[in-house]
Structure 1
Amino acid sequence: MDTSATPGFFRVAGKQFPNITWYKRKNLRSAYCLLFFVILTSATNGYDGSMVNGLLSLDQFTTYMKNPSGSIKGLFSGIMFLGSLLALPITPYIADGMGRRWGICIGSIIMIFAVVLQSASVNFQMFVAARFFLGFGVAIAHGSAPLLITELCHPQHRATFTTIYNTTWYLGSIIAAWLTYGTNRIDSQWSWRIPSIIQALPSILQITCVWFVPESPRFHVSKGRPEKALAILTKVHAEDNHDDELVALEYEEIKETIAIEKEAEQTGWLELFKTKGNRHRLLILVSAGLFSQWSGNGLVSYYISGVLDSIGITDPDMQLKINGVLNIWNALVAITMCFFVDKFGRRPLFLVSTAGMCMSFVIWTILSERFEATKVKANGSAVVFMIFLYYTFYNLAWSGLLVGYTVEILPYSLRAKGMCYMFAMVDVALFFNTYINPIALDHIAWKYYIVYCAWLAFELVFVFFFYIETKNTPLEEIAKHFDGDAALVGGAAATEKGRIIESEVHEKKRSHVTEENVESTRI
């Protein structure tokens, strides 16, 4: 499938359109600014990860929680992912049934309740219960937010903005890292309660502001409201120009493709197992979820204190500084790469990222062993450098494209459910890692890293054989990369199968109209 376009142009339904500058268009600029409140879902998740990391470095917190062991530390983080996992079965029904905005709002309400419970905790049992509900709310919001972004954005900007979504994890992480660094100087329980209370702020903003964001045009079409979908597309993508050719092509492609998907009745949880193209999608979804968290990054994301303890950096103040600087670096790399996903392509970024992580982790492991054997401070400092290098490679692809790539490869009818498969594997991996990592670090230290070295090598081979390129392809048309002529695509870009089903749909509509006219004549 040829998706190339002349420089300065993008393609929709085989036609080229000149690139536009989003901030020079009033309605588009307004829509993207409002999407900031949708992106806050990922930032909230990042805030939580870094906050837990920071709290475990605070003497005030660990003392209040009676110096939790490695397994209890794992439970603090891991229970959140168990909550997320249990919420996933209902998540697509909220997103597809009530709308993307309602999914974000419901998730945010649950998270606010959880933060209140967490901030008022009097023991670790109460703290753990709060984190379970926090994970439940995050899953529901997470299951709707990226869908709204990818379905609302202009075709030229879709990949960039959807990829940015997951990278804002680091923005939340930066705020939490430096906030806990600052509250470390408060000699009371408020040193950890303040960061916990502030965690509710993004959810409050989302509940207040998400209703100003237009609903997904595709959601409106799926609910039999095509006129609302067209109005949103016209306003956001064409500055209210009702004669815009791009919007006309988009609208027909969306409307016909969703009609074809409904006619084919490919909407169930098991649809991803039934065809070759869907099984390929499922392999990517499951692997992306696992690889994004089972690549060694969980060691630092949630247990940097244990990693730094093992190389002789035990001062809480220094640990918090390293954590804060690392998150700033991660954000810079990850967000920068979002603007190159359509230039370099998804597949090359995944390959370079995974190969670089594997190389960095091997060197990280060797240096950790050398520090344990020699206690030479330089080896410990070199480990810190390798952590930064490892995350540089990780953020080339796995940070942003985890959501950006997986959400775009799914057709509308399977998008919400398909993302649940991916998020389920993320939660399984995180639950395992957050519970096992502190125990493994306590018992075998650097030897545990060898497992990740071998796993990263396997990841590289898997990505090479199964991840395909989708750059510069409109959302509905990506199905052609997986299904070929069997893809359910309508409109001007319709496939052979799409045209057949599209014709059948129109024939049924004509028959229905004729029957109604006959009945009306009789009356």
Structure 2
Amino acid sequence: MGGPAAVSGDDGAGYAHLIDRSKSWWKNTRLIKLNLCILLLLITSTTNGYDGSMMNGLQSLPQWNQAFNFPSGGKLGLLSAIQNIGCLAAYPFSPYMSDGLGRRTAVVFGAVIMCIATVLQTASNSVGMFIGARFLIGFGLTFAASAAPVLVTEIAYPTHRAPATSLYNTLWFLGSIIAAWTTFGTFHIPTSWSWRIPSALQALPSVIQVLLVWFVIPESPRWLCSKGREEQALQTLAYYHANGDRTDPLVEYEFEEIRAAIKFDREVAANVGWLSLIKSPGNRRRLRIMIAIAFFSQWSGNNLISYYMNKIFDAIGITDPTTQLLINGCLNIYNFIIAIIAGLLCDKVGRRPLFIASTIGMFVFWVLQTVCFALYSETGNVMAAHAFIAMIFLFYAFYDIAFTPLIVSYTVEILPFALRAKGFTVFNFALTLSLIFNQYINPIALAHLGWKYYLVYVCWLAFEIAFIWRYLIETKNRTLEETAALFDGEDTAERLAHHAAENLGIPPSDSHSDGEKGSSEDIEEVKIAI
């Protein structure tokens, strides 16, 4: 039997009684190996986090500004946004590679492109070359980032799934920390290597993945089943989740649940094109939530700080580059710690309470940031400037408890297998659109409106609170297949239950039979689990 969960599931979950809790997971070598594989996928997010913090740091480096003729306004916005424009260009292709050739193939393909692009970025001797390299980094990142969290979700041990997937977006801050302290460390190098070294280090996660992913990480059992490779899928589940025991009750449960869900998708929802995302009420509910949290994650004011911190600090009188870089480095370590804690608690506290607390807390401390910014701008009050820095840290504490760890894991878990890659691509597309808009507009609006621009986000954060309270659905302690009834209703749960019952060898119930109740009761138990 496989080792127990790091985080205990709810006893109501369909698999809870099948999990051996007799020893800790870290004493199970197969689960240790699986979690190391997952860690290798999680570092995909560090490339993205590295980029935002690197661009923030480079703007404080005189050497970089001189090399690219002191970019500002729209030009600075383009330099920041071009990576996400590259992401946008790849979205039409990434789900087809992930669904067609496999999750691992998409991760490796994206990592190879990013390695090549980072070499070009490091060697840049003109603005055009730097912009082109950053576009290519974004293009490759889409393939890797679209497949990696999906693969994490689909191979993780059941009760590790939510925390592991939540850590994906959390490791954004690991990249951000490395970039912040790298630019701080290279600040005193008088040559162009002050910015070329941070540029080169951006390739490190991708280099590691190119060397290891294909050889050590298992393919998704769900993807294997969808391609008719059920024997290989069963072997993967047994090897990692039950020490190789193919007859383990947990492995049998997972395998039959996956088969039932895929069979249901083929029979009842055979059309899995892009329009499937809007055809059923359940999928429209999913789409509404996914697009909303994608925009909320970028339009909560956080990108003003993460991409244009130096401009904001200049506006409140903190103009020393060393001080700016030091605050940036400390803020990223602080964010990383809080996001990890929140991600590991997601199955204990629940998604909905974390999202509600996050939006309310962001609103409160953004209002206080606005007040401090206004006081300094109108009166030059130095204490208001210092209080503004404190409000940034408190604002991010609340942002980090939901919008760092949960936006990816929640999106992936509410999507059915057949639409998971396409739906996650739509989520990323919406996120990238919101990010590009912010990266273009924020420096221009901040320059023209100053502290008054903060009032826009005050109103938007109030809207976020209302939306999250009204529409976000709790999904904690459920398997990927068990969320069907939450979005698609009891009819879908009934159908999935019958498919699962058939695959487990339970005869279907017949309301006109001789009155025996055993089979119908068995199916009802399966339905409750699903």
Distance 2:11 2:247 in 1: 20
- C-alpha change, 1:376 and 1:398, in structure 2 (3 Å) is same
Aligned to 2:229: 225
- C-alpha change, 1:298 and 1:244, in structure 2 (3 Å) is same
Q: Secondary structure at the match of 1:318?
A: helix
Of the three residues 421, 440, 446, the one matched with 1:441 is: 446
Deviation at residue 124 of structure 1 after TM alignment: 1.1
Distance 1:142 1:297 in 2: 21
Aligned to 1:518: none
Pairing 1:187–2:190 present = yes
Distance 1:16 1:228 in 2: 22
| Superposition map of 1:461-476 within 5 A | 461-476=466-481
Pairing 1:365–2:370 present = yes
Deviation at residue 70 of structure 1 after TM alignment: 1.7
Q: Contact conserved, 2:11 with 2:17, CA < 8 A, in 1?
A: no
Q: Contact conserved, 2:256 with 2:500, CA < 8 A, in 1?
A: no
Aligned to 2:64: 61
Q: Contact conserved, 1:260 with 1:498, CA < 8 A, in 2?
A: no
Distance 2:460 2:492 in 1: 34
Of the three residues 11, 14, 29, the one matched with 2:13 is: 11
Paired letter, 1:185: H
Aligned to 1:151: 154
Q: Secondary structure at the match of 1:388?
A: helix
Pairing 1:236–2:237 present = no
Of the three residues 389, 403, 415, the one matched with 1:398 is: 403
Pairing 1:420–2:422 present = no
| Superposition map of 1:480-499 within 5 A | 480-487=485-492, 494-495=496-497
Deviation at residue 486 of structure 1 after TM alignment: 2.7
| Superposition map of 1:4-83 within 5 A | 11-12=13-14, 15=17, 17-19=19-21, 21-83=24-86
Q: What per-residue deviation string (whole Å, max 9, x for no partner) do you get for residues 313-333 of structure 1?
A: 010000000000000000000
Q: Contact conserved, 1:477 with 1:489, CA < 8 A, in 2?
A: no
Q: Contact conserved, 1:9 with 1:18, CA < 8 A, in 2?
A: no
Distance 2:481 2:494 in 1: 7
Q: Contact conserved, 1:257 with 1:489, CA < 8 A, in 2?
A: no
- C-alpha change, 1:263 and 1:7, in structure 2 (3 Å) is closer
- C-alpha change, 1:10 and 1:172, in structure 2 (3 Å) is farther
Deviation at residue 352 of structure 1 after TM alignment: 0.3
Aligned to 1:131: 134
Q: Contact conserved, 1:263 with 1:501, CA < 8 A, in 2?
A: no
Aligned to 2:259: 255
| Superposition map of 1:365-384 within 5 A | 365-384=370-389
Distance 1:495 1:393 in 2: 39
* Identity between Structure 1 and Structure 2 (%): 47
Task: Report the aligned-residue RMSD.
Answer: 2.0
Q: What per-residue deviation string (whole Å, max 9, x for no partner) do you get for residues 208-265 of structure 1?
A: 1112111111111011000000000001000112221011011000012112112220
| Superposition map of 1:99-178 within 5 A | 99-178=102-181
Paired letter, 2:321: P
Q: Contact conserved, 2:26 with 2:32, CA < 8 A, in 1?
A: yes
- C-alpha change, 1:128 and 1:472, in structure 2 (3 Å) is same
Q: Contact conserved, 1:10 with 1:16, CA < 8 A, in 2?
A: no
Q: Contact conserved, 2:351 with 2:475, CA < 8 A, in 1?
A: yes
Q: Contact conserved, 1:162 with 1:404, CA < 8 A, in 2?
A: yes
Paired letter, 2:211: T
Q: What per-residue deviation string (whole Å, max 9, x for no partner) do you get for residues 392-422 of structure 1?
A: 0000101010101010000000000000111
Distance 2:342 2:91 in 1: 29
| Superposition map of 1:302-381 within 5 A | 302-381=307-386
Q: Contact conserved, 1:486 with 1:496, CA < 8 A, in 2?
A: no
Q: Contact conserved, 1:11 with 1:17, CA < 8 A, in 2?
A: no
Q: Contact conserved, 2:18 with 2:249, CA < 8 A, in 1?
A: no
Paired letter, 1:156: T
Distance 1:497 1:459 in 2: 39
Distance 1:53 1:251 in 2: 46
Of the three residues 293, 296, 301, the one matched with 2:298 is: 293
Q: Contact conserved, 1:84 with 1:139, CA < 8 A, in 2?
A: yes
Distance 1:273 1:420 in 2: 15
Q: Contact conserved, 2:9 with 2:16, CA < 8 A, in 1?
A: no
Distance 2:245 2:273 in 1: 37
Distance 1:497 1:359 in 2: 48
Q: Tell me the number of residue pairs that the alignment of Structure 1 and Structure 2 aligns.
A: 497
Unaligned runs of 5+ in 1: 507-523
Q: Secondary structure at the match of 1:399?
A: coil
Aligned to 2:518: none
Q: What per-residue deviation string (whole Å, max 9, x for no partner) do you get for residues 376-396 of structure 1?
A: 111101000000000000001
Deviation at residue 500 of structure 1 after TM alignment: 9.6
Paired letter, 1:115: T
Deviation at residue 487 of structure 1 after TM alignment: 2.3
Distance 1:501 1:80 in 2: 46
Q: What per-residue deviation string (whole Å, max 9, x for no partner) do you get for residues 170-228 of structure 1?
A: 00100000000000010010000011011111101001111211111111101100000
Distance 1:416 1:6 in 2: 28
